[in-house]
Structure 1
């Protein structure tokens, strides 16, 4: 579409009043969303959308405007609107486009748009029935199916022309179980940069049973004991810890503004020597993966922490310009209606050498966290609080009875320094990460971890 227009003229218009950089971002995609709640299909949304955003960076500030009127006249007007927000020296760069770089995306075996809507609805209904039939105590079930396919084209004042396509599918089941005045929730997600073949690995019924089993099991669990104790985070728990306790704090915009506990800490020890943290957008089919980010920078595997030492941050073009370095390919946006900002992709604590079994066997008294729930973190001081949706007591190296209502409270750098063992396994979790009003798909992963001491919120 953009190739039909004089994009050099549009970029020159965007930089008419000055600026160091400008780009045009075109996006066209289709999506389907189905929600089943309380046994009824509550929502079926299917549609397409396309639009263009134009950005100008001047004096390390951003002007951004967007439209869904895809005509050359409209884009020239849009570029004029963006240019009016900046003042500076005339741009002296080259506008000639170089040969385009294209990425068709990871191989998709069964594109979602080839699957009839009726089949998608039937899949959601099957999960709903399965969860409800699991146990009479299951009182409410919510099932979500969502897919999307998008093609992006990016042209900028450096002469770069990048094409990129992405397809993603996500499926979640949430079950609520109740017995007397006790209410517990079980949640299980599935998703990735995949098409409908996603369900060849795990069926909708399996996802439903996992969510329902978790909710029902927690009904009979006693309240978790509170206090300071050892905690084993299973690889099955997902990567909530790495995402919240350190991931956001290593996004360069927060670090540069002094809003991160890791600001100015490059080269210092911020975690146990056993801990290495990477952000890797190149993992095939992982939910946060891509070939080019939303600014056209190539995806990378970025080492953030190596053997406990902070090596660097995640950058987009703007934050990289501020430090005179290059982007790490972490410029992401929810859609053409929003400017790109620094975001994680797939953030991982790298596996170690200890077997998960030996880690548990070495704990005299503690808590095994099999599944993490929601959480929050203050990136300025690193303090966090996470919910535990599936946890078990550990007594003398043996996993015992389940407990409910546990929370983990601590400080990111402090807790990361207290990691005493790192397992040889690796488990992934998926989610949609929110920041500055934007949501983007991400994945997190960690091995089994032993935290020597952390505060567990519970009964007493």
Structure 2
């Protein structure tokens, strides 16, 4: 993707002009996005983005520049200008790319950009009809299709030289139900780090019906009771709450600055004994996976919390320098326009020893949170607030009637301690995460769990 001689010249410019570490991130990205409402195309985009980012360290200081002009003269001039702010004594460097990385292989067979647009639209039409035909209450269906082929080359002055091809595809389906002047939505978004063959592994019409089912169920629901009660959170995207409420506080970007509630707590008990929290970017073909992270390190399984004890943070290269800790292959970025920092990949609570049925049966009265929608969290304090898109009452150890308007309010540190039952039905779903290094693809998941005491907010009828 870029001649090694040019890379060597860039790195020589880095070192001879004052930097002690240099890195390039070259990207060639093909993306297609299509949106339909009611089966009609609302918008569409297909394009290619190509460019390079150059990062330079001087101790704990860094600078990042990027361009889509890959001429040798421009890259060298840009590098020299960047190192001016980090300049110190000049040094000589002998560079060898002798630290090759073999990416974790995520297999694919059909590149989406080789598929005709008509076939993608046909899938979207199937999804639209599947949701629309679920019931007369469904008044609108929106379908968003995305595929991406991201080819990257990562090299640095420590000898790393690696290429990675990331091929993803996903369809997001939202159904709107109306009854008595009330509107409710249901949402699903299957996706994978796979090519177009992904759609041979799933029934997209069944996913569409699921979105419609959620919307139809909730539009007839009464408003949720409020107060402090046990909350059972179902498997799958319920893990988003822990991604937000706990995961961000375990990223080195906040831990290194001492602004995380979990700073300086390695080896300490921060959760109940039944909680093991993992981040793993190497799970084959999962939405949040990569072959290597965006700093060129092979992805790996990182056990963050084990049986309640904090074992590791998610660490990128620069914050690893600040903390005196090795990178955990957690450096991520949206594109060459962003410098990487520590971010999550596929983050999940590991399976426990209970069953979902046992958890429900052992909960006399509470709330069953089947689908978490969205929320906000303060990484410094861990305080969070999440809305539910699908919820039910638990009465006498059974799931009973649906309720709407519920929010989960709490604190990340406290909720980790208050988890007292974990099921054996782990599921990881797909999502996006927005932070300082841009929007990235993430997986979030968990088995069914119970939080013994939690504040449920909302409005009562």
Q: If the TM-score is normalised by the length of the shorter chain, which range does it land in?
A: over 0.9
Is the counterpart of residue 419 in structure 1 residue 396 in structure 2?
no
Q: What displacement does 1:102 show?
A: 4.4
Q: CA separation in 1, counterparts of 2:101 and 2:457?
A: 51
1:307-318 matches, within 5 Å, as 307-318=307-318
- Partner residue, 1:144: 144
Q: What displacement does 1:240 show?
A: 1.0
- Partner residue, 2:184: 184
- Partner residue, 1:24: 24
Q: What does the per-residue CA deviation read over 1:94-132, in whole Å, with 9 as the maximum and x for residues that have no partner?
A: 422226434384111322123111101111122122222
Q: Which moved more, 1:70-79 or 1:331-340?
A: 70-79
Is the counterpart of residue 134 in structure 1 residue 134 in structure 2?
yes
- Partner residue, 1:114: 114
Q: How many residues align?
A: 460
- Partner residue, 1:276: 276
- Partner residue, 1:369: 369
TM-score, length of structure 2 as denominator length: 0.96
Q: Which moved more, 1:179-188 or 1:248-257?
A: 179-188
Taking a change above 3 Å as real, the CA distance of residues 437 and 344 of structure 1, as seen in their structure-2 partners, is closer
Is the counterpart of residue 62 in structure 1 residue 92 in structure 2?
no
Q: What displacement does 1:344 show?
A: 0.4
- Partner residue, 1:444: 444
Q: What displacement does 1:92 show?
A: 5.5
Q: CA separation in 2, counterparts of 1:50 and 1:208?
A: 34
- Partner residue, 1:167: 167
Q: Which moved more, 1:184-193 or 1:68-77?
A: 68-77
Q: CA separation in 1, counterparts of 2:103 and 2:310?
A: 32
Q: What does the per-residue CA deviation read over 1:30-79, in whole Å, with 9 as the maximum and x for residues that have no partner?
A: 11111112432012211112111111012312211111112222211221
Q: What displacement does 1:395 show?
A: 0.7
Is the Cα contact below 8 Å between 1:426 and 1:446 reproduced in 2? yes
Q: What displacement does 1:413 show?
A: 0.9
Q: What displacement does 1:6 show?
A: 3.0
Is the counterpart of residue 301 in structure 1 residue 333 in structure 2?
no
Is the counterpart of residue 123 in structure 1 residue 118 in structure 2?
no
Q: CA separation in 1, counterparts of 2:353 and 2:412?
A: 23
Q: CA separation in 2, counterparts of 1:202 and 1:81?
A: 51
SS at match of 1:410: strand
- Partner residue, 1:291: 291
Taking a change above 3 Å as real, the CA distance of residues 218 and 296 of structure 1, as seen in their structure-2 partners, is same
Q: CA separation in 1, counterparts of 2:394 and 2:21?
A: 56
Taking a change above 3 Å as real, the CA distance of residues 294 and 207 of structure 1, as seen in their structure-2 partners, is same
Q: CA separation in 1, counterparts of 2:199 and 2:147?
A: 13
Is the Cα contact below 8 Å between 1:104 and 1:166 reproduced in 2? no
Which 5+ residue runs of structure 1 have no aligned equivalent?
A: none
Is the Cα contact below 8 Å between 1:147 and 1:167 reproduced in 2? yes
Q: CA separation in 2, counterparts of 1:283 and 1:244?
A: 21
SS at match of 2:189: strand
TM-score, length of structure 1 as denominator length: 0.96
- Partner residue, 1:96: 96
Compute the RMSD of aligned alpha carbons.
1.6
Q: CA separation in 1, counterparts of 2:450 and 2:407?
A: 16
Q: CA separation in 2, counterparts of 1:179 and 1:116?
A: 39
Q: CA separation in 2, counterparts of 1:89 and 1:358?
A: 66
- Partner residue, 1:208: 208
Is the Cα contact below 8 Å between 2:14 and 2:21 reproduced in 1? no
